[in-house]
Amino acid sequence: MLNWLFHKDKQKETDLSHLGMDVHAHIIPGIDDGVETLEQSVEMLTKMQSLGYKRVVATPHVMWDCYKNTPDTILHGLADIRLAAKQAGLTLKIDAAAEYFIDEHFVEMLNNGEQLLTLPGKRVLVELPYSTPLMNTSETLFHIIAKGYRPVLAHPERYTYFYADPAVYKKLCDQGCELQLNILSLGHYYGESVHKMAITLLKQGLITFIGTDSHRIQHLDLIDNCDKNKWLTSYPFQNKFLLQE
Ligand SMILES: [Fe+2]
């Protein structure tokens, strides 16, 4: 009779199947600040599948000061999580790319023509520092394009130094960069100003992809429960078009 006390005040079931795939997740254990064990990877993949994803691309950090990941470390990790997911009976497709921090090492890799791990369509997921702007963001993005790749900037809404001149976002897009929003920015996980910028960028039509940027199961639980459906269903994210590539 006290059932109502335990009723979870949750909006309707989260269904992300219209997105098709997640393009940003830290689900390879032990190689960045994401999950630490294979069990945690499988737990996250299980949750992703139950949220409706049919495909996920693991994107470990490549940030030379902290995470010296290479195609080798990442693809070994991919093989491990694919096997564990199969053994757990999961059916979602799992691939790997990387989230490249734009540092000297990244520029060196570009210059040397080293292999970059990409999202479908030779898209390179890149991130910028959170605290201070890079002097040469624009040049580096041009450089990526000149090398035959397509830059996708991870969570543009989180670089608060851009807020003083929001026109920069449109300039990045005009330059050939695609922008990837984090789902949790639609809730208030990163704070009110990030949330506001996320909505502004959506309203301006500047966002191409949306990702979980999930590092642990709690992020997926928050995504499941946060107030995001209005935006997720009304904005034409392009994730599903990558499913076939
Ligand atoms: Fe990330």
Count, in order, helices (H) and strands (E) of the chain.
9, 9
Instruction: Give residue 2's pLDDT.
Output: 41
Q: What residues does each domain of the chain span?
A: 16-242
Query: Which CA distances in Å does 24 have to 100, 104, 112, 138?
Result: 12, 23, 26, 22
Calculate how far, in angstroms, residue 112's C-alpha sits from the geometric centre of ligand 1: 25
SS3 9: coil
CA–centroid distance, residue 3 to ligand 1 (Å): 39
**Topology of domain 16-242, CATH:** TIM Barrel (3.20.20)
Strand residues in 2-136 grouped as ranges (E): 21-25, 55-58, 61-62, 93-96, 99-101, 123-127
Buried b / exposed e over 46-68, threshold 16 CB at 10 Å, is bbbbbbebbbbbbbbbbbbeebe
Distance 120 CA to ligand 1 centre (A): 17
Contact 102, 141 (CB under 8 A): no
Report the separation in Å between the CA atom of 26 and the middle of ligand 1, taken as the mean of its atom positions.
7
Going from the Cα of 212 to the center of ligand 1, the distance in angstroms, rounded, reads: 8
Residue 35: the pLDDT is: 98
Beta sheet of 99-101, edge-to-edge order = 61-62, 99-101, 123-127, 150-154, 178-182, 207-211
Query: How many angstroms does the Cα of residue 5 sit away from the middle of ligand 1?
Result: 37
Task: Give the Cα separation of 228 and 11 in Å (integer).
Answer: 10
Q: What is the pLDDT of residue 181?
A: 98
Distance from the alpha carbon of residue 184 to the mean position of ligand 1, in angstroms: 12
Q: What values do phi and psi take at 236, rounded to 5? A: -80, 70
Distances (CA, A) of 124 to 83, 106, 195, 214: 25, 11, 25, 18
Centre of ligand 1 from the C-alpha of residue 100, in Å? 9
Q: CB–CB of 119/23 below 8 Å?
A: yes
Distance CA 150, CA 143 (A): 10
Q: What is the pLDDT of residue 245?
A: 81
Per-residue pLDDT of the chain (245 residues; tens, 9 = 90+): 343 344 444 555 789 999 999 999 999 999 999 999 999 999 999 999 999 999 999 999 999 999 999 999 999 999 999 999 999 999 999 999 999 999 999 999 999 999 999 999 999 999 999 999 988 888 999 999 999 999 999 999 999 999 999 999 999 999 999 999 999 999 889 999 999 999 999 999 999 999 999 999 999 999 998 877 788 888 999 999 998 88
pLDDT at 12: 57
Distance from the alpha carbon of residue 6 to the mean position of ligand 1, in angstroms: 34
3 state SS of 20: coil
Q: Report residue 165 CA to chain centroid gap.
A: 24
